[in-house]
């Protein structure tokens, strides 16, 4: 009997790890048998799954439409009972913030804020208000886009926190000429930036697998499209085709941003 119970728990734990791994690596196929195994584990025993994996399962389950409303509630309740979060806080907080902003943007099938209990809603809103420090250094491409955007900008706001993401917002004047005096007229309040300015979303090489966007990048793109009135996506393939020519890249960015400003 003991050996049988151990075997069942090991298989269930493997199902959770496997679906998280599929999500991480960017594969698009989530077998129905695997989904069933994950649902069974969430319904029976969350204690054998680490808090870190639970937070990843929250996002992966939402992306792949694996979990239902009650199962989201169970995971959120389990995570909320383990506050305050300690060493792994940044990673877990990032996952919860991702789930929260997906919910806010209507990206989770058949679930809205109104579907959740008052307890879960308060927990999500509490996590939304927490500051998430950036854990990774920026890539050469991101830094180059940032530098050239600054060069063409009339107004430019960097590293603005939107859910779990750090996004940049830009507005350019005629011929990309900077007007320093206008900077003082605008405050970097997120709602204003999302409504008034072009939002730049840099899509890195490592966010693709087999020419397709990984799930994490797809979620960020969907969030930007849902929240920002004027989104611009800068994929690495387009950027690399411009070679080592800063003036060409400035023109490319100027055209992208100008088109969105006219929308």
What digits encode the pLDDT tens for the residues 39-92?
999 998 888 888 899 999 999 999 999 999 999 999 999 998 865 555 457 889
> pLDDT band at 4, cuts 50/70/90?
very low
pLDDT of residue 110: 84
pLDDT of residue 179: 59
Q: How far apart are CA 233 and CA 208, in angstroms?
A: 14
Q: Residues 66, 68, 69, 74: is their CA dihedral positive or negative?
A: negative
CB 5 within 8 A of CB 24: no
Instruction: List the structure tokens of 254.
Output: 């100027």
> pLDDT band at 120, cuts 50/70/90?
very high
- CA 176, distance to chain mean position in Å, is 30
- The arithmetic mean of pLDDT across residues 178-186, rounded, is 61
What digits encode the pLDDT tens for the residues 198-240?
999 999 999 998 888 999 999 999 999 999 999 999 999 999 9
Q: Is the pLDDT of residue 113 over 60?
A: yes
The more confidently predicted of residues 135 and 190 is 190
Closest CA to 136 of 79, 60, 186, 207: 207
Q: Is the pLDDT of residue 10 over 60?
A: no
> pLDDT band at 189, cuts 50/70/90?
confident
pLDDT of residue 108: 95
- CA 155, distance to chain mean position in Å, is 25
CB 147 within 8 A of CB 233: no
pLDDT of residue 3: 37
């Amino acid at each position: 009997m003991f050996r049988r119970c151990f075997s069942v728990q090991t298989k269930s734990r493997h199902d959770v790890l496997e679906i998280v791994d599929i999500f991480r690596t960017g594969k698009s196929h989530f077998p129905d048998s695997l989904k069933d195994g994950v649902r069974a584990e969430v319904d029976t025993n969350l204690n054998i799954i680490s808090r870190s994996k639970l937070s990843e399962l929250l996002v992966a389950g939402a992306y792949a439409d694996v979990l239902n409303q009650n199962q989201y509630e169970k995971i959120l309740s389990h995570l909320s009972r383990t506050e305050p979060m300690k060493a792994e806080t940044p990673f877990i907080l990032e996952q919860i913030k991702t789930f929260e902003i997906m919910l806010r943007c209507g990206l989770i099938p058949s679930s809205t804020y109104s579907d959740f209990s008052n307890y879960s809603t308060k927990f999500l809103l509490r996590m939304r208000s927490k500051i998430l420090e950036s854990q990774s250094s920026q890539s050469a491409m991101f830094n180059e886009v940032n530098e050239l955007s600054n060069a063409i900008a009339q107004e430019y706001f960097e590293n603005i926190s939107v859910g779990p993401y750090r996004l940049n917002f830009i507005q350019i004047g005629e011929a990309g000429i900077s007007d320093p005096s206008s900077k003082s007229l605008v405050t970097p309040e997120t709602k204003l930036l999302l409504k008034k300015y072009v939002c730049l979303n840099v899509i890195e090489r490592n966010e693709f697998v087999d020419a397709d966007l990984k799930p994490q990048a797809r979620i960020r793109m969907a969030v930007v499209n849902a929240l920002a009135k004027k989104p611009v996506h800068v994929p690495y393939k387009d950027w690399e085709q411009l070679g080592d020519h800063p003036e060409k890249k400035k023109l490319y960015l100027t055209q992208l941003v100008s088109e969105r400003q006219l929308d």
